[in-house]
Amino acid sequence: MEDLKVGDKLYNVSQNGFGDFFRYSFSEVVRLTKTLAVLDNGERLRNKPVRSLINGDIGFALASNKWVYWHMVSSEIEQLAQEEKEKIVINDWFKDRIFSGPEKRMIYNLFKEKGILKGADINLEKTIELFK
């Protein structure tokens, strides 16, 4: 793999604990020195490709932390990042929302229509009465 050039697009993935979502950061090389590549977000990377000791991918280590790598962006990574971003938005929406009875009924009916209800049999009449 070659050294970085101005205009190269890179990404980094972080996670807050094993149960957290993958959080992608994207940036672009805006300036080069003899040994560093400076990204538009201010990060400084060593401009020598290295194989990550964590997952074996080739990347560029932060100048201040050799255990944090940035990698070249591909269309596959952009797709993965978009999917992960959607998961985060959906999770946050459900986490921050308190559903009313009619909303719960709507969700239940959508699941029922799709045939994806699981668990104990639910008495629909009793359930509807609870939400009135």
Give the tens place of pLDDT for each residue, 47-78: 999 887 666 788 998 999 888 899 999 999 99
The kind and range of the H/E element at 125 are: helix 124-130
User: 54-59: long-range contacts at Cβ-Cβ below 8 A with a sequence spacing of 24 or more?
Assistant: 58/1
Contact in structure between 50 and 41 (CB atoms under 8 Å)? no
User: 62-65: long-range contacts at Cβ-Cβ below 8 A with a sequence spacing of 24 or more?
Assistant: 63/36
Count CA atoms within 13 Å of residue 86 on its CB side.
6
Mean pLDDT score, 29-38: 94
Evaluated on CA atoms 76, 16, 54, 51, the torsion sign reads positive
Give the CA distances from residue 49 to residues 13, 38, 64, 85, 91, in Å, rounded to whole numbers and listed in that order.
17, 15, 15, 28, 36
pLDDT at 7: 93
pLDDT band at 120 (very low <50, low <70, confident <90, very high): very low
Domain segments of the chain: what residues? Answer: 9-93, 98-130
Q: Distance between CA 5 and CA 10 in Å, rounded?
A: 11
Least confident of 6-10, 51-55, 117-121: 117-121
Between 116 and 21, name the one with better pLDDT. 21
**Using CB atoms within 10 A of its CB, is residue 52 exposed (0-12), middle (13-18) or buried (19+)?**
middle
